[in-house]
Amino acid sequence: MDLPWGDPRSNKFATSIGLVTSNGPHGHDIMACEWTHHLSYRPGLIAVSLGPTKTTVKNIRASKEFGINLCATDQTIIASVAGGYSGRDYDKINVLKEIGFQFFQADNIDVLMVKGASLNAECKLFKEVTFGDHVMLIGEVLEATHNPEKESLIYNNGKYWSLQSIEKPNEETRQSIKDILNKYKKTPNDNDEIR
């Protein structure tokens, strides 16, 4: 079956918004990507899942590099501009500069990065894989910096949200769960790999 855009079932996912910056045949560009995921620690790999017609895809295929800037809670305007217009039609970087946002040149790639994002990661293209109607571009992180004062913006049900922390189960609850776990403990199999 399909899980289309805007379907209430698709809308149950909560994600951060990657602002994907690129540079290529269409010049400097920025797009919003809710499908931005951390895939691996060693090496650090980040994946973005993009519609194949996006200008960003064309830029990244040509240059083999891109920036991931996790949108901060005070950057909703960037998400809406980057996600609402195509770099085919507009120079979104200059639009955002005129609104008052700032960019800086990445150290290792020829791409602009978003100042004030919660995370800036410079990536070189590691792999491209097509999954269904999207193209997953996986980037190997060359350099990453985070901004401790900024929180990542959350996207859910077509709206922007900020994170609110909820207490983990308390010690008493955890202990009672451990007692139940012990009741259902499995006997290790000789062939099992021990982690």
Ligand X SMILES: Cc1cc2nc3c(=O)[nH]c(=O)nc-3n(C[C@H](O)[C@H](O)[C@H](O)COP(=O)(O)O)c2cc1C
Distance CA 75, CA 98 (A): 14
Tell whether omega for the bond before 4 is within 30 degrees of 0, i.e. cis: no
Least spacing, CB of residue 84 vs ligand X, in Å: 6
Least spacing, CB of residue 20 vs ligand X, in Å: 8
Site for ligand X in 1-30 (CB under 6 A): 17, 29
Phi, psi dihedrals of residue 23, rounded to the nearest 5°: -150, 130
- Which residue in the set 79, 113, 123, 137 belongs to the binding site for ligand X (CB under 6 A)? 79
Kindly state the tokens that stand for 128: 């491209």
For ligand X, give the closer residue by CB, 52 or 169.
Answer: 52
- Which residue in the set 23, 28, 47, 54 belongs to the binding site for ligand X (CB under 6 A)? 54
Residue 81 contacts ligand X per CB under 6 A: no
Using a 10 angstrom Cβ sphere, with 0-12 exposed, 13-18 middle and 19 or more buried, the burial of residue 178 is: exposed
Least spacing, CB of residue 119 vs ligand X, in Å: 16
- Which residue in the set 87, 120, 152, 154 belongs to the binding site for ligand X (CB under 6 A)? 87
Residue 49 contacts ligand X per CB under 6 A: yes
User: Which of 140-174 are b and which e, b meaning 16 or more Cβ less than 10 Å from the residue's Cβ?
Assistant: bbbeeeeeeebebbbbeeeeeeeeeeeeeeeeeee
Least spacing, CB of residue 138 vs ligand X, in Å: 14
Total of residues contacting ligand X (CB under 6 A): 23
Distance CA 81, CA 31 (A): 8
Residue 65 contacts ligand X per CB under 6 A: no
Least spacing, CB of residue 26 vs ligand X, in Å: 7
CA nearest neighbour of 13 among 135, 155, 131: 155
Binding site for ligand X (CB under 6 A): 17, 29, 31-35, 49-51, 54-56, 79-80, 82-88, 155
